[in-house]
């Protein structure tokens, strides 16, 4: 999610810079550290806590599944010389099913986590984006670019603190 937003912003920035190279008259540039703005929001902090809790639940379930698989494996090893072939085959099949269930749960829970992360963070990034657009319009900036793209930029043109103040109200 973060990677795709940053990649999109970087691509947009290069497009904007290449277009602006043709005509610099009347154009005003500003920068903003979007990650800092987002990280300052209470909604982001709440979303992070919710995601951490969700990840903890998933990990707890995975650890439980792993423990049960290990117990099945240990039981199989311990009894391989005393069980009948039929009993061994059943135990091996149960172990394979447990491994398959583990892999499926791990895959599904990863997808569910990513979906939850996207559901929680997209509205926050949209809120910041709208605030950037509004501030750019209010302050007559033609472009607002991510601050991490520049080695140097004038502090007066950095909207980060103004955005944090505006969104913290």
- Residue 93: the pLDDT is 96
Instruction: Report strand pairing: 29-32 vs 143-146.
Output: parallel
Average pLDDT over residues 39-55: 97
Which of 1-15, 19-33, 140-154 tops mean pLDDT?
Answer: 140-154
| Domains of the chain by residue range | 2-168
- Residue 5: the pLDDT is 59
Phi and psi (nearest 5°) for 141?
A: -90, 135
Instruction: Give the chain's mean pLDDT.
Output: 88
Residue 8's pLDDT band (cuts 50, 70, 90): low
Residue 131: which of 105, 162, 163, 89 has the closest Cα? 163
Rounded distance, CA 87 to CA 94, Å?
Answer: 11
Q: Are 92 and 76 in contact (CB under 8 A)?
A: yes
15 pLDDT higher than 60: no
19 pLDDT higher than 60: no
Specify the pTM. Answer: 0.74
The count of C-alpha atoms lying within 13 angstroms of the C-alpha of 109, restricted to the half-sphere facing its C-beta, is 16
- Residue 133: the pLDDT is 96
Residue 23's pLDDT band (cuts 50, 70, 90): very low
Eight-class DSSP state of 158: B
Residue 147: which of 157, 135, 133 has the closest Cα? 157
């Amino acid at each position: 999610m973060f990677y795709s937003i940053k990649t999109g912003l970087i691509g947009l920035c290069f497009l904007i810079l290449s277009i602006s190279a043709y005509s610099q008259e009347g154009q005003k540039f500003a920068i903003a550290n979007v990650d800092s703005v987002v990280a300052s929001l209470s909604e982001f902090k709440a979303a992070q806590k919710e995601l951490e809790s969700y990840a903890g639940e998933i990990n707890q379930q995975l650890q439980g599944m792993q423990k049960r698989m290990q117990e099945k494996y240990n039981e199989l090893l311990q009894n391989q010389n005393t069980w009948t072939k039929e009993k061994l085959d059943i135990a091996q099949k149960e172990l394979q099913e447990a491994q398959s269930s583990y892999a499926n749960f791990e895959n599904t829970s990863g997808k569910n986590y990513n979906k939850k992360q996207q559901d929680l963070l997209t509205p926050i990034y949209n809120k910041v984006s709208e605030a950037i657009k509004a501030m750019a319009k209010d302050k007559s900036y033609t472009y607002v670019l991510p601050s991490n793209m520049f080695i140097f930029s004038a502090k007066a043109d950095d909207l980060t603190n103004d955005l944090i103040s505006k969104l913290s109200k």
